[in-house]
Chain A
Amino acid sequence: MDLGFIITNAVVLACIYGTLAIGLSITWSSVGLINLAYGFIFALSGYGAWLGAQHISTNGVVVVACGVLTGALGGLLVCALAFIPIHDKPNFTVRGLIATLAISLIGGQALLAIFGPRAKNLPEIFGSWKISLAGVVLTADKVGNVVVSIAVVTAVLMWMRSSRRGLEIRAMMMNPHAAAIVGIGVRRTGFYVMAITGGLAGLAAVLLSQTYYISPFGGLAPMIKGVSIALCGGLGSVRGAVIAAVLLGLNEALTARLMGGQYVLITQFLLIILILLMRPRGIAGILDRAREA
C-alpha cells in the first residue's frame, strides 16, 4: 500500500516533470537557447486553458487543446523576441538567457496586470472516477496525467524521429552549422522547435493545474524543477531527461513520505549536485560532445 502509493506518485511526477524537462532540453540542444521564459509560457498557457474553459467548453479535450495552442503561441513569441534577433550575434547564449529572463519578467507582470493576483482553477479534465489496482487507488487525475503525458511525449518523439521536420530538428541538434550548410533554415527550425516545446509546456500546465493553480508566477516552480531535471539528465538528451525525471520523481515521492514536504527541494538539490559533481554534463551528457553555444 505505502510502496504502491510512493511508486504511483513518483510515476505521475516523473511524467509531468519529464514533459517539462524534455521541452527545455530540446530547446537548448537544437536552437542553443536556455529558455527561462518557460515558466511564463507555462502560466500563459494555463490562462489560455482557463479562458477556453470559461468561454468555449469545459470538455477536457478542448481545455487541453487550448492550453497546448496557447503554449505554442507563447513559444513562438519567445522565439521571435529572444531567438530571431540575436541568434547570430556574439555572446548569444548569455544574451538569449537574459532575454528570456526579461520576457519572463515582462510576461509575469503583464499577466498580473491583466488577470490579477488571484489563482485560477481549471475544471477536472479527466472526470472524477477512481480505480483500485492491486490495492492501490488510482484517481482519474493521476491516470489521465500519466497516459496523456506519455502519449504526447511519445508522439512528439516519434514525429521527431520519422518526419522531415523532425529530421531537420535532429540535424540542428547534432551540428547547427552543418545543418545550416545543407540548407536547413535556422530561423524556421527555431520556430518549429519553440512551438513544439511551448506546446509541451502548455500540456504540462494543464496537467499540473490540479497541483499548481494557475497564477501569474505559478510557472516558476515547475520551470525550476524542469530545468533541474534537464540539467541533471544532461541538456540535450531526451533519454537522460527521462532517467532524471524518474530519479527525481522517486526522490520527491520518497522524501515527501519519509521526511516531510519541506525537505523535498533540499534532498532534490543535494541529489542533483551529487549527480552533477560526478557527471558535470548530466547523466547522459558527454563532456566533449556538449553543445558549445
Chain B
Amino acid sequence: MVDVEQRLRPGTATADVPDTPASTWRNPLHPWGAEGAEEEIPSNPHRDPREVWVRTRESKAPLLPVGRLRYYHKWPGHGGRLWQRMRYWPTRRRVLHIRGEYNPKTLRREKTIVDKRPIWWVLGLVALLLAPAVMPADFQNTLMTAGATFGIYAAINLCWMLIIGTAGIYSLASYAVVGAAAFGTAWLSIHMGLPWWTLPLVGSAIGLVFGLIIAIPAIRLDGFYYALLTIGLNELCRVYTLQSKQFGSSTGGLYGADTYIPQSWSQESQSLLAYYACFALMVAALILYRFVDGRRLGRILKMAPEKREAFAEATGVNFRRARIWVFIISSIGLGFIGGFYTAHYRGVSFSIFSFDTVLLGLAMLVIGGIGRAEGAVVGTAIVIFLDKVLIATGPIRLILIGLIMLGVVLFLKGGLFGIKAQFGAWRDKKKSERRSRRAEKGGEMLPEEATETKDKDLIYWRRYDKMQRDYLKSLISPEIIEEHRKSPLGQHSEPLERLLLYFRRAPLADKYAITVVKPFQAYRIVALSGQRGVAPRIVEDKVYPTQDEAYHGVFLRRVQDLLET
C-alpha cells in the first residue's frame, strides 16, 4: 500500500526510500530463471519522449503586435454587382481593382479595394481644380503663377519620366527638346505670325524632328554614356541660342509670340485661365503617360528591365524598338509642351536650357521617385513650391532643394513613393536576421543549405534525428552504463533499450564493431568502412579479454560520440 501511495504522490518520497519505483527496473525474465538476470536494477526515472518534440516545436519568437499585416477596409457584400464591372474605353481595365472574397470567420461575402491609387489621384486632381477658390487672397497672384508653372513642369516631367522610367534611357536633354520647340515656335510666331493654337502642333513637329535626331545615338549608346552626351547636347543648345542674333541673344530670350490669354480680360481672369490651361496640359500628359506606360509599349519595356534585356530579347521582345518609340512619342509630347510654353509665356528665355533647369527637373523626378507618374507630379509640386513660392529666400531655397535631393538619393531607393516598399523590405530583412539568429544550430540545416539540398527528406530526417538525440542524451546516466556493463546482451531496461536501438540503427559507414584477435581471449574495437572490399580500420589499441567487455567498450564509445554531438 505504501508503495502505491508513493507512486501516486512522488513528492512525498522520503530519503529513507532510496530507489523510488520509477527509477528501478524489474527484469521480466527473472521469474523464468534467465541466466544473469537480476530481479531489480536501478535505472532512470521515465521521461516522456514527447517533451523534446513539444519543446522543439514551440515558437520561441516573442509575439509582438506588429507584423506584415495589411489592413484593408472591408466593404460589405456585393451580391451579383461585383461581376458588372465598369470598364472604360479604350482599355479593358476596371476603374477600381476590387476583390470579392468570403470572410473566413463569418462566411459573409465582402469586398476589398486592392489598389486605392485611382482614388488618391481623383482626390488630388479635384483638389487642384478647386485650389483657386480657396487660395488666400494675399498670395493669390504668386500661387496662381506657381500653379500654372507647376502644370507645365509636371507635364514636362511626366514626358521625361516616360523616357527615363519607362524607356530606361537616361536622357537629360528633355528640357533641350522643350526649349528647341519653344524657341522654334516663338520665332515662327513672331516672324511668320502663326496664331497661338498652331504653336503646340508646330512644336510637336519640331519635337519629333529633335527627338529623331537625339534618338540616333541612343540606338548604340546606353546608360550613362547617353546621359553624359545629352548633358552636352543641352549645353550646345544653350550656347547656340545664346550666341545667335535671331534667337534674341541681346534680349535674353525671344518674346512677343501670340498667346492664348486674351489681353482684354482682367488680371484675375487671365491668371485663372492660365492656371486651368496648364492644369489641362498636365492632365493630358497624365493621359499620355498612362497610355504609353500602361499599355503595350510599357508592358514590353517592363519585360526588359535593366540587366535583364538579354532574357527579354531571347523571348522575342524587341525592347530596343519599344524604347525608341517611347522616346519619340515623348519627344512629340515635349515639343507640344514647348509650343504651349511659348503660347503661355508669350515667348521663352535662355534659362530653359541652363544646367540649373535640368538639375531642378531631375530633382523633381528623383524626389518623387523615378518610374511613377505620381512621383513626377508630387516631386514637381514640392520643388516648384520651394522654388517659386519661397522665392524671397534667394539661393537658400535652391540649396534646400539640393539638400532634399541629396538626402533622397542617399537614403531612399525609389524616392518618396518608394518609402513604403523600402520600409517593407527593411523590415523583412530585420525579421529574417532575427529568425536566423534564433535558429538552433546542430543537426538542423541552415536555410540556405536547405534550399540547396536536392533530397528534401534529409531536412526533415535531420530535424527528427536531432530531437531524438536530444532525448537520448537525457537518458544517459551511470545506472544505465552500469546496467550495460553487467550484461551487454539480453533484456534491458527501457532507457537502455532505446539507446541501444538507436545505436544499432546507425549507418554502416564508421559504425563500431568488434573483431576477434584471438578467440575467447582477445577482442578489439574496429570501425567499419561502409564500403565493400575496404577493410575496417582499427579504432584503438586496447585489447579486451572478453567479448562482453568489448561490447561494453563499443557502447561507451557510442555514448561518448552521442554526447559529443
Contacts and interface: CB of A to CB of B under 8 A. Distances in A.
Interface of A: 34, 36, 81, 85-86, 89-91, 93-95, 97-99, 101-106, 108-110, 112-113, 217, 220-221, 224, 227-228, 230-231, 235, 261-262, 265-266, 269, 272-273, 276-277, 280-282
B366 A98 contact: yes
B399 A109 contact: yes
Contacts of B362: 98, 101
Contact of A113 (B229, B233, B243, B396): B396
Contacts of B355: 217, 220
Report which residue of B222, B233, B396 has the largest number of chain A beta carbons within 10 angstroms of its beta carbon.
B233
6 contacts: A99-B410, A101-B405, A106-B403, A113-B395, A231-B229, A269-B236
Nearest to B233: A269
Nearest to A273: B217
Contacts of A95: 409-410
A262 B399 contact: no
B405 A105 contact: yes
Contacts of A281: 225
A30 to B, nearest CB: 15
B267 to A, nearest CB: 32
Interface string B343-372: 000000000000110011011001000100
A94 B239 contact: no
The 5 lowest CB-CB distance pairs between A and B, nearest first, are A106-B402, A105-B402, A262-B243, A102-B406, A102-B405
Contact of B221 (A34, A89, A108, A276): A276
Given A81-B406, A86-B409, A262-B244, A109 B398 contact: yes
Given A95-B409, A266-B240, A276-B221, A109 B395 contact: yes
A269 to B, nearest CB: 5
A113 B413 contact: no
Nearest to B170: A94
Report which residue of B228, B229, B236 has the largest number of chain A beta carbons within 10 angstroms of its beta carbon.
B228
Report which residue of A81, A112, A228 has the largest number of chain B beta carbons within 10 angstroms of its beta carbon.
A228
A131 B508 CA distance: 95
A282 B221 CA distance: 10
A34 B409 CA distance: 15
Contact of A280 (B225, B233, B396): B225
Given A98-B366, A220-B355, 16 more contacts: A95-B409, A98-B405, A99-B406, A101-B362, A102-B405, A105-B405, A106-B402, A109-B395, A109-B398, A110-B395, A110-B399, A112-B395, A113-B399, A273-B229, A277-B220, A280-B225
Given A221-B235, A272-B229, A273-B217, A103 B406 contact: yes
Nearest to B401: A105
Given A224-B235, A231-B229, A102 B395 contact: no
A265 B395 contact: no
Contact of A277 (B217, B228, B243, B370): B217
Contacts of A90: 413
B359 A104 contact: yes
Nearest to A34: B224
A274 B232 CA distance: 14
B228 A34 contact: yes
Q: Is the interface of A mostly helix, strand, loop or mixed?
A: helix
A91 B422 CA distance: 14
A108 B236 CA distance: 20
Contact of A265 (B170, B240, B360, B410): B240
B216 interface: yes
B432 to A, nearest CB: 17
A208 B399 CA distance: 27
Interface in B369-421: 370, 394-396, 398-399, 401-403, 405-406, 409-410, 413
Contact of A227 (B217, B223, B228, B402): B228
B403 A227 contact: no
Chain B interface size, as a band, is 35 or more
Contact of B402 (A86, A103, A230): A103
B224 A97 contact: yes
B412 to A, nearest CB: 9
Nearest to A281: B225
Interface in B173-230: 216-217, 220-225, 227-229
B356 A105 contact: yes
B154 to A, nearest CB: 20
B405 to A, nearest CB: 4
B217 to A, nearest CB: 5
Contacts of A217: 355-356
B486 to A, nearest CB: 60
B231 interface: yes
Contacts of B360: 105
B382 to A, nearest CB: 14
B232 A224 contact: yes
A126 to B, nearest CB: 28
A104 B224 CA distance: 18
A156 B240 CA distance: 36
A86 B410 CA distance: 6
Contacts of A224: 231-232, 235
A224 to B, nearest CB: 5
B60 to A, nearest CB: 33
B240 A262 contact: yes
B216 A277 contact: yes
Contacts of B395: 109-110, 112-113
Contacts of A86: 409-410
Given A86-B409, A231-B229, A105 B217 contact: no
Nearest to A282: B225
Report which residue of B222, B359, B360, B394 has the largest number of chain A beta carbons within 10 angstroms of its beta carbon.
B359
B396 to A, nearest CB: 7
A103 B403 CA distance: 8
Contacts of A85: 410
Given A109-B395, A228-B229, A272-B232, A280 B409 contact: no
Nearest to A235: B225
A95 to B, nearest CB: 5
Contacts of A112: 395
A269 B238 CA distance: 13
B394 A113 contact: yes
Contacts of B359: 101-102, 104-105
Nearest to B232: A228
A269 B359 CA distance: 21
B225 to A, nearest CB: 6
Nearest to B238: A265
A109 B229 contact: no
Contacts of A280: 220-222, 225
B225 A97 contact: no
Contacts of B235: 220-221, 224, 265
A88 B216 CA distance: 34
Contact of B409 (A102, A106, A231): A102
B229 to A, nearest CB: 6
Contacts of A109: 395-396, 398-399, 402
Contacts of A272: 229, 232
Nearest to A90: B413
A105 B355 CA distance: 9
Contacts of B356: 105, 108, 217
Report which residue of A99, A105, A265 has the largest number of chain B beta carbons within 10 angstroms of its beta carbon.
A105
A13 B222 CA distance: 28
